[in-house]
Amino acid sequence: MRVFHDTWLVFRRSLGLTVRQPAWLVAGVMQPFVYLLLFGPLLNSLSSMPGFPAGGAFNTFVPGLLVMTALFGSTFVGFGFISEMRSGVIERMRVTPMSRTAAVLGRTLRDVLVFMFQGMVLVVLSIPLGLHIDPAGLVVAFALLALIGLVLGPVSYAMALVIGSEDALAPLTQAIALPLLLLSGIMLPMSFAPEWLRTIASFNPLYHSVLAIRALFNAQFADPNVLSGIGIMVACAVLSIGVASRVFNRATA
């Protein structure tokens, strides 16, 4: 099928270009690592408070940091795409029979691979600090992270294609990413939040992902948050890829 063939081509090309600049891989790990080192200890003393989720500070905090890595690893990808637009690469490829969906999917899969690698580094670094993980839970948790990338990446690429300039894309991306981040219970557990804030958070798909990953790390596969977290993300990914494909197809006249 053309779409798989072309997705693979775009994926390989963009991964090759990313690997040539390993600084980005390191930069992506730095931020969550700083949180881990400087913010994690604060949570450690909170973890004995009533209402704190089970599993201890790092089992609560690291899932949040992983979701944050996925969030930043896929909401800002549009900027790289704009520089590709500027170089004329995107237009050149539009005058080929290339699948338009592949243009989005190939790049998104590259982004997913990059932040999963960063996430894995983060997990390994967290184990000596007190993270306990169930191996099977880890695998499912990373599958869920990949889904987050498939939801957010296509949105970022479609916005970049339509907007076409960094100046306009930056504030819009911030306006989307920041509430998603704050309403996902990444920094502090949402169980500390007042009722109304929790209600709003429940509309944030990422909030459910964080809950699901926490349960998975603690090997609580039967926790209803696991199924709902994954189900919500699958639905969002289908929607997001569908919409982005439409945007790319239409822009191509």
Which of 22, 50, 51, 88 binds another protein (CB under 8 A)? It is: 88
d(CA 71, CA 145): 9
CB of 99 to another protein, least distance (A): 9
Q: Which stretch binds another protein (CB under 8 A): 5-13, 30-38, 189-197, 234-242?
A: 5-13
The stretch among 9-17, 46-54, 127-135, 169-177 that binds another protein (CB under 8 A) is 9-17
Q: Counting contacts by CB under 8 A, is residue 92 touching another protein?
A: yes
Among 26, 30, 34, 89, binds another protein (CB under 8 A): 89
45 binds another protein (CB under 8 A): no
In terms of CB distance, is 138 or 162 closer to another protein? 162
Q: How far is 76 from 47, CA to CA, in rounded Å?
A: 32
Tell me the C-alpha distance between 6 and 96, whole Å. 11
* Residue spans of alpha helices (H) in 20-134: 23-38, 40-46, 57-75, 77-87, 89-94, 100-126
Q: Is 162 in the site for another protein (CB under 8 A)?
A: no
Question: Of the candidates 59, 70, 84, 148, which one interacts with another protein according to CB under 8 A?
Answer: 84
Residue 12 or 132 having the CB closest to another protein: 12
**Cβ at position 83, least distance to another protein in Å:** 9
- Do 150 and 237 meet the contact criterion of CB atoms below 8 Å apart? yes
Paired tokens of 123: 């997990």
Look at residues 72, 179, 84 and name the one whose alpha carbon lies nearest to residue 118.
Answer: 72
CB of 9 to another protein, least distance (A): 5
Q: Sort residue 53 into left (φ over 0), alpha (ψ -120 to 50) or beta.
A: beta
Please choose, from the candidates 20, 141, 164, 127, the residue with its C-alpha nearest in 3D space to the C-alpha of residue 69: 141
Count of residues interacting with another protein (CB under 8 A): 20
15 in contact with another protein (CB under 8 A): no
128 binds another protein (CB under 8 A): no
Distance CA 73, CA 2 (A): 27
Judge whether 63 and 214 are in contact, CB under 8 Å. yes
* 249 is a contact residue toward another protein (CB under 8 A): no
By the criterion CB under 8 A, which residues form the site for another protein? Answer: 6, 9, 13, 16-17, 20, 84, 87-89, 91-98, 252-253
